[in-house]
Amino acid sequence: MPKTEDHQIPIIAIVGRPNVGKSSLFNRLIQKRVAITSDIAGTTRDRIYYRLEVGDITSILVDTGGMEYGKKENIEADVQSQARIGIAEADLILFVVDGSEGLTSNDYEAAQILRKTHKPILFIANKSDHTGMEEQRHELMKIGFGEAIEVSAIHKAGIDELMITLEKTLKKQGWKPQVAAPENKNVTNICFVGRPNVGKSSLVNALFGEEKLIVSPIAGTTRDAVDVGIQWKGQEYNLIDTAGLRRRGKIEVGLEKLSSLRSLEAVERTDIACLILDFKEGISKQDMHISSYIVEAGKGLMLIVNKSDLMKKRDEEENRFLWNLKHKFDFLPWAPVIFVSALKKTNIEKILDIANQIQSERSKTIDLDELDGFMREVTYRHIPPKVGINRPKIYSLEQSKVNPPTFTFVVNDGKSLHFSYRRYLENELRKKYGFTGTSVKFIFKTKEYEKKGPPRKQK
Ligand code: GDP
């Protein structure tokens, strides 16, 4: 697919017949490359897409293995269903075969289907960690994609090299490092995401029906025809991809399903993502996946529960919904939830009021002395648990950025702090300083001293 102005993030799809190790490779590639702290408990295993930083290029990695439906024996149907959903959107395909078994007729069939897509393909032989690889190499060439990139997802072999090849390939295709939300910091960027039929278009149209709302072109955003600038209570907002939602009729619902991965691009450009839910449907795994993505991308998040006009006992049903979010799904406790009705136009204005609050939380800074005290207090109350015989140590903490608020911890070993301890730190930080409605980012930097030994003079 050729790149266009509104097509800025490469989608990389892992494709291949069953059992070649697509999911293992997927997991290996995303491991430690994403901010796992923020993943919502219980959803990691069935996620099929992740935000993957390939060098300095942000991409979306898709595991089409998770999309296989139908009988596994029916490779053609399998690959075709993958082709329809995953491959159709991919900018680069990682075609995976089994380097220990050699090629099967299913691989050849898959290859043929992939060739027809005319998409760029990287040919990968997984499980290439066995002794017979010499003979296998020649055999693998026969499928016509040149020499295979040899990896072992399980034994972590060839993964760094694959990442380097990926980066080179994407750069050659012309992909650039992602430019974050438009620069103008007086403007808050907002996007609306959610499953088909939750009422995104209705909600956007209801928002535009608000009397106090002024639609105004904002300098710097005109480049993008699908964005809409608005003013609300003297504050400027840029609604990303909104023109499309306003125009859209029902006919396109099916089409939208297919392009759901593309809608993640709007998330990349935004400050705040509004995830729309249908009160009757509740929250689904798919909603949690997109929320995890929003958090990984370091954005603000608000949950808008639409169709509240269908509630019979309002308080009771709202409480049940909130209880479910909190207890059943272990959902992000810091994301504000509002109940609205696009149909009755209730609570619509609250969306922008809350967006404004989230944006000020995203711009907040905590000074160094204050954070130093915080760090001493929380590590005193709960010392980082030992890893083997070593106890991780945190030396200092500072806020290195805003939008999203980013905190840099200098530690003796950046990798040693346990996931649950990172979560503890985030919870404590939020308890003390708020940051309601926004993700926060933690960077754990290994102290130079520990890495290289003591420097001669300074420190
Ligand atoms: P989208 O696919 O998310 O953009 O959803 P639409 O805006 O097209 O809405 C899907 C369906 O839900 C339509 O039939 C709408 O009339 C209906 N709908 C949207 N908002 C509401 C609401 O607040 N209450 C009720 N009862 N129905 C709604």
- For 184-205, the pLDDT digits (tens) are 678 999 999 988 889 888 898 8
Place of tokens 């709202």: 318
- What percentage of the chain exceeds 70 in pLDDT? 80
Whether residue 19 contacts residue 68, with contact meaning beta carbons closer than 8 Å, is answered with: no
b/e 312-341 (16+ beta carbons within 10 angstroms → b): eeeeebbeebeeebeeebebbebbbbbbbb
How far is the C-alpha of 433 from the C-alpha of 428, rounded, in Å?
Answer: 8
How close is the Cα of 198 to the center of ligand 1, in Å?
6
426 phi, psi to nearest 5 deg: -65, -45
C-alpha to C-alpha distance for 362 and 38, rounded to whole angstroms: 16
Both tokens assigned to 407: 């905190």
| Nearest Cα residue to atom 22 of ligand 1 | 307
257 pLDDT higher than 60: no
For ligand 1, residues with CB inside 6 Å are: 194, 196-202, 250, 253, 306-307, 309-310, 341-343
- For a pocket test of ligand 1, which of 195, 197, 202, 309 has the largest count of ligand atoms closer than 8 A to its C-beta? 202
- pLDDT digit string, tens, across residues 361-418: 999 999 999 999 999 999 999 999 988 888 889 999 999 999 999 999 999 887 778 8
Q: Over 60: is that where the pLDDT of 19 sits?
A: yes
Range in 23-27, 69-73, 361-365, 379-383 with the lowest mean pLDDT: 69-73
Length of the chain, please? Answer: 459
Quote the pLDDT of residue 138: 87
pLDDT at 12: 93
Strand pairing class (235-240; 228-232):
antiparallel
Q: CA gyration radius for the chain? A: 24
Q: Provide the pairing of β-strand 235-240 with 187-193.
A: parallel
Q: What is the pLDDT of residue 166?
A: 95
* Residue 37: Cβ within 10 Å count: 19
pLDDT in tens, 147-175: 999 999 988 899 999 999 999 999 999 99
Q: Is the dihedral of CA 304, 289, 426, 266 positive or negative?
A: negative
Give the chain's mean pLDDT. Answer: 82
Residue type, 107: D
pLDDT computed for residue 2 by the predictor: 40
Residue 69 confidence (pLDDT) above 70 = no
Q: What is the pLDDT of residues 445-458, one digit of tens each?
A: 888 755 555 555 54
Question: Do residues 57 and 43 touch, judged by C-beta distance below 8 A?
Answer: no
Per residue in 289-303, pLDDT (tens digit) is 888 889 989 999 999
Kindly give the number of the ligand 1 atom that is closest to the alpha carbon of 344.
Answer: 23
Quick check: pTM over 0.75? yes
Instruction: Answer for the pair 22, 29: CB distance below 8 angstroms, yes or no.
Output: no
pLDDT band for position 183 (cuts 50, 70, 90):
low
Local structure of residue 40 (DSSP, 8 states): P
